[in-house]
Structure 1
Amino acid sequence: MSKRTYPYKAWVLLPSFTPVEVELVESYSDWGPYQDWDKSQKGKAFNSKRDLYPTKAAAIAAGRTKIDEQQADIAKRLERINKRIAALDKAERTA
């Protein structure tokens, strides 16, 4: 793992998918499972490999990728639901 120098600024996506710039001031932990986490000026921890992006454009691109993944998951679920509906309709017709 490469050491990061503090403070530094990065971009994160809020749960609303709004990109926001944050200032990271220290490492959350230097050992264990939290060594890739940084702490913001407000005290919130962020995973530097999963949650932080170097630019606003990179954060927006990652958000679009996440939305594409969610849409694909919804399409798969809808296909399964439609198959179940068809099975129930078929069973109803033969009853």
Structure 2
Amino acid sequence: MSERTYPYKAWVLMPSFKIVEVELVECYGSWGRYMEWDKASSGKSYNVDRDLYPTKAAAIAAGRKKIDEQQADIAKRLERINKRIAALDKAERTA
């Protein structure tokens, strides 16, 4: 993990997929605990590896990747649902 100097700015992908620039003012925790977390000027803590992005473009790319993963999950679920529907249709025809 690289040393960070404070304050610095980074980009965050919010749960609503809105991209927000935040100012990080200190490492969260003391005596080296939780070194992977930084605290914003708002008081909210962010995981350095999971939540913060160096550029807006990187945050957008991460958001698109999350959407792709969600779409793949939905496609798998839909495939399972369609198989269940087919099984019920087959059972109904033989009843």
Q: Do the structures match in fold with TM over 0.5?
A: yes
* Residue identity matched to 2:93: R
TM-superposed deviation, 1:52? 0.3
Equivalence map 1:22-41=2 (5 Å): 22-29=22-29, 30-31=32-33, 34-41=34-41
Percent of aligned pairs with the same amino acid: 81
Deviation at 1:38, TM superposition (A): 0.5
Distance in 2 of aligned mates of 1:84 and 1:44: 44
Deviations 1:38-73 (A, max 9, x none): 000010010000110000011001100100010000
Instruction: Specify the alignment match of 1:9 in structure 2.
Output: 9
Aligned residue pairs total 93
What SS is found at the alignment partner of 2:46?
A: strand
Hey, what's the Cα distance between the residues in 2 that align with 1:92 and 1:60? 47
5+ residue gaps, structure 2, are none
Residues 65-80 of structure 1: pairs in structure 2 closer than 5 A: 65-80=65-80
SS in structure 1 of the partner of residue 60 of structure 2: helix
Instruction: Give the equivalent residue in structure 2 for 1:58.
Output: 58
CA RMSD of aligned residues (A): 0.8
Matched AA of 1:48: V
Q: Quote the offset at 1:35 in angstroms.
A: 2.1
Give every structure 1 segment of 4 or more consecutive aligned residues whose post-TM-superposition deviation is greater than 6 Å.
Answer: none
What residue in structure 1 maps to residue 81 of structure 2?
81
Q: Which runs of 5+ in 1 are unaligned?
A: none
Shift of 1:15: 1.2
Deviation of the 1:3 alpha carbon: 2.0
